[in-house]
Amino acid sequence: MFKALVIEKDDAGYRAGVKQVDDSALPPGEVTVRVEYSTVNYKDGLAITGKSPVVRKFPLNAGIDFAGTVEASDDARYKTGDRVVLNGWGVGETHSGGLAQKARVKADWLVPLPAGLTTRQAMAIGTAGYTAMLCVLALEHHGLTPASGDILVTGANGGVGSVAIAVLAKLGYRVIASTGRPQEADHLKALGAAEVIHRDELASPGKPLAKERWAGVVDSVGSHTLANACAGTRYGGAVAACGLAQGMDFPGSVAPFILRGVTLYGIDSVMAPPARRRAAWDRLARDLDLAKLESITREIALADAVQAGADILAGRIRGRVVVDVNA
């Protein structure tokens, strides 16, 4: 038996709570992991609260990512005692996930934990931070460098935004942080932001083209914010879109793309191929200031994850939440 945050849906309704689960309930997979830490991402919040149909199989252990130690393996790539991290692949959606003391998954879904990172640090990064690095890699692939110009980061106080700011600043970029919590400006500047703007500048319907303000964008917000971010991107710039905190719609114009040659990159963290995942995690181990990571991280027990799920949707969480599943 092990503890897990179980999501259930039946005639009694939709609910999430910590329960004891029998090992026999673990899904098929080649590798069984003794989970040490998980986290609460925006998608976890949607899953735990049922605000969006993220979970499509019931009952299901919540948690779209985890870090821990291999307990048993039928795959030669992993042996007992190996430290691993997992993000995505439908875990926490259709396959029982990491807000639990134990998980069983396909070997192809795992990434060896890079040297220099602990399992706790890996979950302080989590899917949010891993997604932020995928965005940075896309901007670099486009050819952007610190000399290209400013980088806008929207949703700056969230998990993706916080890690993106820290990484970009360490790489030498000048970062403009957009947030709805201007009282957090000092915190964002401590992470590395050079300038902080209010999200209201971007959150309402805007012009098809705006003044060229930034060379690149990391956007986790979507909707009007993404449209206005594109409209303010310099000629030949790039926008990496990875979220929908404001909405899934894109009420924009083709103008930035056909008049300024702006490129919009869609960033998917769930099904990203293994090589890209390993590259992102290797870069995180190298390019993320772990002291800054700790400054945006707080730790909770598994029993507190339900409330954290509601809090993250309400915008009450700054940075990252690590869940000690054994606490």
Q: What is the pLDDT of residues 115-135, one digit of tens each?
A: 999 999 999 999 999 999 999
Burial 7-43 (b: 16+ CB within 10 A, else e): bebeeeeeebebeebeeeebbebbbbbbbbbbbbbbb
Strand order in the sheet with 13-21: 13-21, 2-10, 60-61
Contact 87, 64 (CB under 8 A): yes
Cα distances from 275 to residues 37, 109, 112, 234, 282, in angstroms, run 23, 11, 12, 31, 11
pLDDT at 78: 98
Mean pLDDT confidence for 40-63: 94
Residue 265 has pLDDT above 90, yes or no: yes
Beta-bridge mates of residue 19: 4
Of the candidates 32, 29, 30, 23, the residue with the CA atom closest to the CA atom of residue 4: 23
Could you give the CA distance from residue 32 to residue 102 in angstroms, rounded to a whole number? Answer: 7
> pLDDT tens for residues 185-203?
999 999 999 999 999 999 9
pLDDT in tens, 132-158: 999 999 999 999 999 999 999 999 999
The architecture (CATH level 2) of 2-113+296-324 comes to Alpha-Beta Complex (3.90)
Superfamily of domain 126-266: NAD(P)-binding Rossmann-like Domain (3.40.50.720)
Q: What is the pLDDT of residue 109?
A: 97
Per-residue model confidence as pLDDT tens digits over 84-103 = 999 999 999 999 999 999 99
Maximum separation of any 2 CA atoms in the chain, in Å? 60
Distances 84 to 117, 257, 260, 280, 282 between C-alpha atoms, Å: 11, 40, 43, 14, 13
pLDDT at 69: 98
**Cα–Cα distance for residue pair 126/67, rounded to 1 Å:** 9
Tell me, what's the pLDDT at 318? 85
Q: In terms of DSSP bridges, do strands 175-179 and 31-39 run parallel, antiparallel, or are they unpaired?
A: unpaired
Rounded to the nearest 5°, which phi and psi values hold at 185?
Answer: -60, -45
> Of 107, 25, 100, which is closest to residue 58 (Cα–Cα)?
25
- For the residues 21-36, what does the mean pLDDT come to? 97
Note the pLDDT tens digit of each residue in 237-255.
Answer: 999 999 999 999 999 999 9
pLDDT at 44 exceeding the cut of 90: yes
Same fold, 2-113+296-324 and 126-266: no
Q: How many Å apart are CA 233 and CA 70, to the nearest integer? A: 45
192 touches 170 (CB < 8 A): yes
Residue ranges covered by each domain of the chain: 2-113+296-324, 126-266
> Does the pLDDT value for residue 292 go beyond 90?
yes
Q: What percent of the chain has pLDDT over 70?
A: 100
pLDDT band at 14 (very low <50, low <70, confident <90, very high): very high
Q: What is residue 315's predicted lDDT score, i.e. its pLDDT? A: 86
Say what the alpha-carbon torsion angle 36, 307, 269, 111 is, to the nearest 10 degrees: 0
Question: Looking at residue 319, what is its pLDDT?
Answer: 86
Q: What is the DSSP letter of 211?
A: -
* Range of weakest confidence among 109-118, 265-274, 314-323: 314-323
At residue 168, φ and ψ (nearest 5 deg) are -60, -40
